[in-house]
Amino acid sequence: LTKVTGRDEFNYEFYVVMDDQLNAFALPGGKIFINAGAILKTKSEAELAGLLAHELSHAVLSHGFQLVTQGNLTANITQFIPYGGTAANLIVLNYSRNMERQADDLGTKILAASGYAADGLRNLMITLHDQGGPKPLFPWLSTHPETKERINNLEAIIDRNGYNRYTYEGVENHLEIQKRVAQLLKEYEEKQKEEEEGKQEVKQEDEQQQTQDKEQDLKQQDDQEQQQEE
């Protein structure tokens, strides 16, 4: 995908965020973050590539940089650890409708030029629309324009440019990737659970110790009062 973006000066980096929600975002300069949930909820490699191509397009078109200069980028990345865990929505990019149309247009072009089925992004939008209903279920859709409108625009882009819908889908390969990611996410969640349980145990031990200390202090006070009375 990155070979056909036309922005060779970028140092592209891709990170998988261990979160089960379907979400992805791009930072200025070509850093792309994608949730494990996006890999698990897409139906093919072409759909996943469509999502990545869309986010790459935001970076290529400098949309994130424009939002930064306009003060419309809300971010909290102080806790982010590459290849590790983080909250589901570290960054909210309030792209305009025009920016979204541009990213859909260029993203589909990148997808087709990379040899993927050109309707990967369009199919992803249909999948999310069907699963999410009238109100967006996934964070990736929550700040974006109306889904049906975008599906129609994507279909028009494909037809107008004569992009090939019937090339590489990558369903079988995607299933293998999903198995690996599902295992990694499971291990991460188990580790997080163990750490949380460990914190709770330490907290309980601290509370018990504090209670014992208070009881000991009260006992010492009682003993001192009795000695004074005697």
| Backbone phi and psi for residue 18, each to the nearest 5 degrees, phi listed first | -75, 80
Q: Where are the alpha helices (DSSP H) in the chain?
A: 36-41, 45-60, 63-70, 97-113, 120-132, 139-142, 147-161, 171-229
Question: In this model, does residue 44 exceed pLDDT 60?
Answer: yes
* Residues in a beta bridge with 27: 31
The answer to whether residue 94 is domain-embedded is: yes
pTM of the model: 0.76
**Among 35-39, 91-95, 189-193, whose mean pLDDT is lowest?**
91-95
Q: Which helix (H) or strand (E) holds 27?
A: strand 24-27
Give how far Cα 137 sits from Cα of 52, 102, 127, 129, 131, Å: 19, 23, 11, 9, 7
Q: What residue numbers bound the domain in which 21 lies?
A: 2-169
What average pLDDT does this structure show over 44-55?
96
SS3 call for 134: coil
Give how far Cα 201 sits from Cα of 94, 115, 194, 208, Å: 41, 53, 10, 10
% of the chain surpassing 70 pLDDT? 81
The answer to whether residue 209 is domain-embedded is: no
* DSSP-derived secondary structure letter, 43: S
What average pLDDT does this structure show over 91-120?
87
Cα–Cα distance, 100 to 106 (Å, whole number) = 10
At 134 the pLDDT is: 43
The answer to whether residue 175 is domain-embedded is: no
Cα–Cα distance, 85 to 19 (Å, whole number) = 7
The answer to whether residue 191 is domain-embedded is: no
SS3 call for 91: strand
User: Following DSSP, what letter does each residue of 165-217 receive, concatenated?
Assistant: SSSB--HHHHHHHHHHHHHHHHHHHHHHHHHHHHHHHHHHHHHHHHHHHHHHH
The number of distinct structural domains making up the chain is 1
The active-site residue out of 9, 13, 45, 55 is: 55
The answer to whether residue 87 is domain-embedded is: yes
The answer to whether residue 132 is domain-embedded is: yes
Q: Residues 6 or more apart from 165 whose CB is under 8 A from it?
A: 117, 118, 119, 158
The answer to whether residue 183 is domain-embedded is: no
* DSSP-derived secondary structure letter, 83: T
pLDDT digits (tens, 9 = 90+) for 158-213: 999 999 999 999 999 999 999 999 999 999 999 998 988 888 888 888 888 888 87
55 annotated active-site: yes
The answer to whether residue 158 is domain-embedded is: yes
At 218 the pLDDT is: 78
